[in-house]
């Protein structure tokens, strides 16, 4: 099976996360069983034919009685927490709209109220369902913004970095990895690569050089993401709505190389 080695490498950091957070193999096995059934039921249905337990069982290798019991139990994967959705849209607007950015494209410090650009007008431009004061209190508590000596509200770097283990981070953990893997899968199973997926990588680096390359790539990545956000935001404001979505992501990683784990027979030495 050609996928075995790359799949093992892909899953290894996830297994570390599962063990660290108490997700046992039986719990993961049950989730995978439900997802296998859910994907087979909806993604592999034949045109104009109702999907049957027997066909789902054939596709997944799961017994038909188990299929019948679990169909429809797949875990939801597209739910966006409401507060996260609003916060992300407000921050994106602050980072992209010309009225809210300076000549260098950085987010302007905003007065609390008044005509745009102000924090009150910023929130109101995205939603009328949230009071600006409530948003400000929450963001101050999460250290996403600060208030300077002149009473202006400043967007902090933490606004780009979700708190470790927070609902926001876990949501984007699932969304971003899903989109990256989905793009890779489409490139593998499609007739030709259709999604751009590239990485620059160097081995045999010293620790200082690896750290320097990481810092430089962070600056490059943030500049590119801010440019993409500004362009997408301007187009989004003018274009009609639809039922498509788009993601543009960048990742950076470095580690001290360890010997690859060797497979053994699974038996203790005697």
Quick check: bond before 227 cis, omega within 30? no
DSSP 112: S
**Which residue, among 148, 120, 146, 147, has the nearest Cα to 134 in the 3D structure?**
120
Task: Give the pLDDT band (50/70/90) at residue 267.
Answer: very low
**With 70 as the cut, is the pLDDT of residue 53 above it?**
yes
How is residue 3 written in tokens? Answer: 């996928």
Q: What is the pLDDT of residue 143?
A: 85
Written as six digits, the tokens of 111 are 């007065």
CA angle 235, 102, 127 (to 5 degrees): 50
Computed from CA positions of residues 77, 83, 88, 89, in that sequence, does the dihedral angle turn out positive or negative?
Answer: positive
Cβ-contact 74, 32 below 8 angstroms: no
Q: Say how far apart CA 115 and CA 98 lie, in whole Å.
A: 15
Give 269's pLDDT tier (boundaries 50, 70, 90).
very low
User: CB within 8 A of 10, min separation 6: which ones?
Assistant: 181
Q: Classify residue 38 by its DSSP letter.
A: H
Report pLDDT digits (tens) over 142-175: 888 999 999 999 998 766 666 677 777 788 888 8
In angstroms and rounded to an integer, the radius of gyration of the C-alpha atoms of the chain is: 23
Say if residue 140 is exposed, middle or buried (CB neighbours under 10 Å; 0-12, 13-18, 19+). middle
Confidence of residue 263 (pLDDT cuts 50, 70, 90): low
pTM exceeds cut of 0.75: no
The string of pLDDT tens digits covering residues 181-203 is: 999 999 998 877 789 999 999 99
- For residue 227, give both structure tokens: 């440019």
- pLDDT band of residue 74 (cuts 50, 70, 90) is low
User: What pLDDT does 133 receive?
Assistant: 92
Give the total residue count for the chain. Answer: 270
> What's the rounded mean pLDDT across residues 231-252?
89
Q: How many CA atoms lie within 13 A of 216 on its CB side?
A: 7
Question: Does the pLDDT value for residue 266 go beyond 60?
Answer: no
Quote the tokens at residue 60.
């997944």
Structure tokens at 167: 């609902």
What is the rounded distance in angstroms from the CA atom of residue 222 to the CA atom of residue 161? 12
Query: What per-residue confidence (pLDDT) applies to 219?
Result: 92
């Amino acid at each position: 099976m050609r996928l075995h080695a790359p799949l093992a490498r892909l899953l290894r950091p996830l297994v570390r996360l599962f063990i660290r957070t108490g997700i046992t193999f039986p719990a993961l096995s049950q989730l995978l069983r439900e997802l296998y059934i859910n994907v087979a039921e909806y993604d592999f249905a034949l045109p104009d034919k109702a999907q049957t337990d027997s066909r789902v069982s054939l596709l997944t290798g799961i017994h038909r009685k188990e299929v019948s019991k679990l169909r429809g139990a797949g875990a939801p994967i597209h739910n966006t927490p409401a507060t996260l959705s609003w916060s992300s849209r407000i921050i994106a607007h602050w980072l992209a709209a010309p009225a809210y950015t300076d000549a260098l494209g950085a987010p302007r410090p905003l007065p609390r109220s008044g005509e745009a650009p102000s924090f009150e007008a910023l929130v109101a431009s995205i939603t009328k369902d949230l009071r600006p004061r409530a948003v400000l209190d929450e963001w101050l508590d999460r250290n996403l913004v600060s208030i300077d000596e002149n009473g202006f509200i400043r967007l902090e770097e933490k606004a780009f970095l979700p708190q470790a283990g927070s609902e926001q981070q876990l949501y984007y953990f699932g969304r971003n990895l899903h989109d990256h893997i989905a793009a890779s899968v489409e490139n593998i199973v499609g007739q030709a690569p259709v999604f751009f997926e590239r990485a620059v990588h160097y081995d045999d680096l010293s620790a200082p050089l690896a750290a320097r390359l990481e810092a430089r790539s962070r600056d490059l990545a943030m500049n590119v993401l801010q440019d993409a956000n500004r362009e997408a935001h301007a187009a989004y404001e003018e274009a009609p709505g639809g039922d498509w979505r788009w993601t543009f992501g960048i990742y950076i990683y470095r580690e001290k190389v360890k010997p690859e784990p060797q497979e053994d027979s699974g038996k203790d030495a005697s």
